[in-house]
């Protein structure tokens, strides 16, 4: 099915099942421990052995020798495969660094060996016996030091790097009545998901099956086949449940490759889970940024010039953190400049982490907007409202499909009691605590991806949906079941959903905030085809047939849906593909984030007291699971603001705090009650579901709202995250 015109009325609009706050249908399995996560797939293949991955002890250089003799002779060891046993493997399409093979080391903890043994402990102990000789080389590990060598980069692969300009920024900025010129920075951050990267691999002749934890099944299958030199049809990837990914499991990683190589060497199935240090240093992370923002405005608050240049680092052939994406679209302003600069670093690969680009970009832009509002003597909300735009500022002929940003801010201000905020920082106290409120805009582009599904109707078993879409804790099982139930006119308990298997039709996968809308649109397409098959079998006009309460009706005839399926059942398969609507309309999601904090006047300890997100993100397919996504993202935003930071050893090139003891993330005691409001919105430009993404919108802007609240409480402006107490202490007002 091709979606190339705005959606008209369709069965989803009935909202009998879709749009309802349905409990997750996979909830009982997760709460009883029966949901099959990758490392615990004991039943899928017998006689599983254990693999342990050894990472490089240098960040750049060459391996001169590997002595694995002691490891091979250790008790229980079945096989040892080292990086010198083979040439460098082909890189997957989505990999920046090689996952295995050859003597050259590109980053610290790059996989150099896997040991397979009867038990995990035996494999781990034997791996420690491997002796590796290195010829280290000088590496580049400090973003600030490498900044002078950074070059312009492009956000789009294959596009020429350039500054994006509209009008004359320099001239307009020089003439602006009120100006801001500041630099902000965000640190390297880790995904820190609960479930590690994990895989079980088994060979049957030349055919390989992996049971793994991966967000994008089709990508994983393609890149695993490419890396191992196998025909794609010889690879099967199965990942029905993913215990968190946040972008860290979008791409093929070393656990899958080394489980496969270890299984081939040992002649039996092998399971591998990456340790926490390897998750931080061997896989991917959100790269640090240094962001230079300049804003010029007239006395009435209207922006006349805005520039945002972001610097980040990555390995050779890597890409930049696209932290200026929102600045191109969020606020009006005739004269504009945005650019990305990339420094080559020999740190582990930088890549997608929840809301890549906008999440760190808004941590800078929305603080700059707060600072500019203060210089203008304007309320921060009013400053943003004055600079709202209903069209793409770079292309005024291209309107937003829906844009309720002002409504998000106005509604949030009323709900959060924004009028109680003190305009002058440091004025509100509660005993030893300084109180402050902050606001920031949330913005995330809406992306759509082609997505397929197969739907089967049986006489007795109801409707079965198969798609390789994944559930990474987002509620995919439930919203896909809701879509099929709505389309086929059956109750939710009559729908069975199977996900995460590469033998199913390829879906959008889980990433980029495109998964829910795109995957359900693919199910919609398959259900349309199934409805046509049912109507054809019954001799009904498919355009007039109604599917309601388990019946198919046309005119004065009605047939039970199961009877229409017949003894053999009916199966339909289709995918949703997209035309040029995304080029003709700017599709984005918006939020107003409000935060109240308390800061200890003596110690600088910051505590978040209240949080509110007001979101405009198209039709909300399931308010309960959507709220869960947003509050999880808001929690990540608090972590980014106050504590999350991968500390870089700039001498040896690795992340020092590479476990959950040293890498701090928010815990329950850090997070207050979070309120989430979804504005009533449908977006017929997006898909037949009229939905958009919401999960990543929840993190965008939260960090800045926290930072702005801390400034309002203390009068101390911190422009370099995380906002730890040492950055506040010197500037705190005198204690009473």
Residues labelled as active-site residues:
696
How far apart are the C-alpha atoms of 114 and 272, rounded to whole Å? Answer: 9
- The residues, ordered by sequence, that sit 6+ positions from 586 with a Cβ below 8 Å of its Cβ are 329, 391, 392, 398, 399, 400, 401
What does the DSSP 8-state code read for residue 39?
Answer: G
Q: How many residues does the chain have?
A: 736
Q: How many CB atoms lie within 10 A of CB 364?
A: 29
- CA Rg, the chain, in Å? 27
How far apart are the C-alpha atoms of 731 and 716, rounded to whole Å? Answer: 6
Q: What tokens appear for 74 in the block?
A: 């250790």
- The residues, ordered by sequence, that sit 6+ positions from 156 with a Cβ below 8 Å of its Cβ are none
Sheet holding 433-445, edge to edge: 428-430, 433-445, 588-600, 606-616, 674-678
CB-based burial label for 394 (10 Å; 0-12, 13-18, 19+): middle
How far apart are the C-alpha atoms of 283 and 246, rounded to whole Å? Answer: 13
Sign of CA dihedral 67, 70, 75, 78: positive
C-alpha separations of 527 from 18, 50, 452, 477 in Å:
14, 42, 11, 16
DSSP string of 30-82?
HHTT-S--GGG-TTSSSS-EEEEEEEPSSSSEEEEEEE-HHHHTSTTEEEEEE
Per the CB < 8 A criterion, the answer to whether 167 and 219 are in contact is no
How far apart are the C-alpha atoms of 87 and 78, rounded to whole Å? Answer: 22
- Is residue 250 left, alpha or beta, with left meaning phi > 0 and alpha meaning psi from -120 to 50? alpha
How far apart are the C-alpha atoms of 204 and 706, rounded to whole Å? Answer: 53
- The residues, ordered by sequence, that sit 6+ positions from 654 with a Cβ below 8 Å of its Cβ are 59, 108, 109, 281, 347, 348, 648
- The residues, ordered by sequence, that sit 6+ positions from 548 with a Cβ below 8 Å of its Cβ are 489
How far apart are the C-alpha atoms of 313 and 319, rounded to whole Å? Answer: 8
Token look-up 């610290």 returns: 108
How far apart are the C-alpha atoms of 119 and 503, rounded to whole Å? Answer: 31
Sheet holding 2-3, edge to edge: 2-3, 570-578, 451-458, 462-467, 495-499
Question: Do strands 289-297 and 178-186 pair parallel, antiparallel, or not at all (unpaired)?
Answer: antiparallel
How far apart are the C-alpha atoms of 331 and 300, rounded to whole Å? Answer: 15
């Amino acid at each position: 099915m091709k979606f190339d015109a705005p959606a008209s009325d369709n069965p989803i609009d009935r909202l009998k099942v879709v749009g309802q706050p349905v409990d997750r249908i996979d909830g009982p399995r997760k709460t009883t421990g029966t949901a099959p996560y990758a490392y615990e797939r004991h039943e899928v293949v017998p006689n599983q052995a254990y693999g342990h991955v050894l990472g490089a002890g240098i960040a750049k250089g060459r391996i001169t020798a590997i002595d694995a003799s002691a490891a091979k002779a250790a008790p229980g060891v079945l096989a040892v495969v080292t990086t010198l046993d083979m040439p460098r493997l082909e890189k997957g399409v989505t990999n920046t660094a090689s996952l295995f093979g050859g003597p050259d080391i590109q980053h610290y903890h790059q996989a150099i060996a896997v040991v397979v043994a009867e038990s995990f402990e035996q494999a781990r102990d034997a791996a420690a016996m491997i002796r590796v000789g290195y010829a280290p080389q000088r590496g580049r590990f400090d973003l600030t030091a490498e900044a002078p060598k950074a070059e312009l980069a492009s956000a789009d692969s294959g596009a020429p790097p350039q500054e994006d300009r509209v009008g004359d920024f320099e001239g307009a900025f020089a003439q602006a009545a009120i100006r801001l010129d500041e630099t902000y920075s965000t640190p390297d951050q880790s995904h820190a998901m609960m479930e590690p990267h994990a895989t079980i691999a088994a060979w049957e002749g030349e055919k390989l099956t992996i049971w793994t934890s991966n967000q994008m099944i089709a990508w994983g299958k393609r890149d695993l086949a490419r890396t191992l030199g196998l025909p794609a049809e010889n690879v099967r990837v199965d990942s029905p449940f993913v215990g968190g990914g946040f972008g860290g499991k979008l791409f093929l990683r070393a656990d899958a490759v080394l489980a496969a190589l270890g299984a081939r060497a040992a002649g039996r199935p092998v399971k591998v889970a990456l340790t926490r240090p390897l998750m931080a240093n061997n896989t991917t992370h959100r790269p640090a940024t240094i962001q230079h923002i300049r804003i010029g405005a007239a006395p009435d608050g209207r922006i006349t010039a805005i520039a945002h240049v972001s610097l980040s680092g990555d390995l050779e052939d890597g890409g930049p953190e696209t932290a200026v994406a929102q600045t191109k679209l969020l606020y009006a302003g005739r004269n504009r400049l945005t650019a990305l600069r990339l420094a080559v670093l020999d740190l582990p690969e930088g890549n997608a982490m929840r809301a890549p680009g906008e999440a760190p970009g808004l941590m800078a832009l929305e603080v700059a907007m707060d600072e500019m509002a203060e210089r203008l003597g304007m309320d921060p909300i009013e400053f943003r409202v004055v600079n709202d735009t209903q069209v793409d500022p770079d292309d005024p002929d291209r309107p937003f499909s829906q844009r309720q940003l002002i409504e998000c801010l106005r509604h949030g201000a009323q709900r959060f009691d924004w009028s109680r905020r003190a305009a002058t920082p440091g004025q509100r106290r509660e005993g030893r605590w300084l109180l402050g409120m902050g606001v920031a805009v949330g913005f995330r582009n809406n992306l759509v991806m082609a997505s397929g599904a197969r739907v089967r109707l049986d006489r007795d078993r109801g409707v079965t949906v198969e798609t390789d879409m994944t559930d990474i804790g987002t509620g995919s099982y439930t919203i896909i079941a809701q879509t099929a139930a709505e389309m086929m006119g059956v109750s939710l308990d009559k729908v069975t959903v199977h996900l995460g298997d590469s033998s199913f039709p390829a879906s959008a996968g889980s990433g980029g905030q495109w998964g829910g809308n795109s995957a359900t649109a693919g199910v919609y397409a398959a259900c349309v085809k199934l409805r046509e098959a049912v109507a054809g079998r019954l001799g009904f006009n498919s355009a007039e047939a109604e599917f309601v309460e388990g019946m198919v009706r046309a005119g004065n005839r009605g047939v039970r849906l199961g009877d229409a399926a017949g003894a053999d059942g009916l199966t339909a398969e289709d995918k949703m593909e997209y035309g040029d609507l995304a080029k003709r309309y700017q599709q984005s999601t918006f939020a107003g984030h409000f935060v109240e904090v308390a800061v200890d006047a003596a110690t600088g300890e910051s505590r978040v007291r209240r949080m509110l997100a007001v979101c405009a993100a198209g039709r909300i397919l399931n308010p309960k699971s959507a709220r869960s996504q947003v509050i999880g993202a808001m929690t990540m935003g608090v972590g980014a603001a106050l504590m999350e930071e991968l500390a870089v050893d700039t001498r040896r090139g690795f992340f020092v705090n590479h476990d959950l003891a040293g890498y701090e993330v928010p815990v329950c005691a850090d997070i207050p009650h979070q309120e989430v409001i979804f504005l009533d919105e449908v977006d017929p430009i997006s898909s037949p579901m009229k939905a958009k993404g919401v999960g990543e919108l929840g993190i965008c802007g939260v960090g800045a709202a926290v930072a702005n609240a801390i400034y309002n409480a203390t009068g101390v402006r911190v422009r370099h995250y995380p906002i730890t107490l040492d950055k506040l202490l010197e500037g705190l007002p005198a204690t009473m």
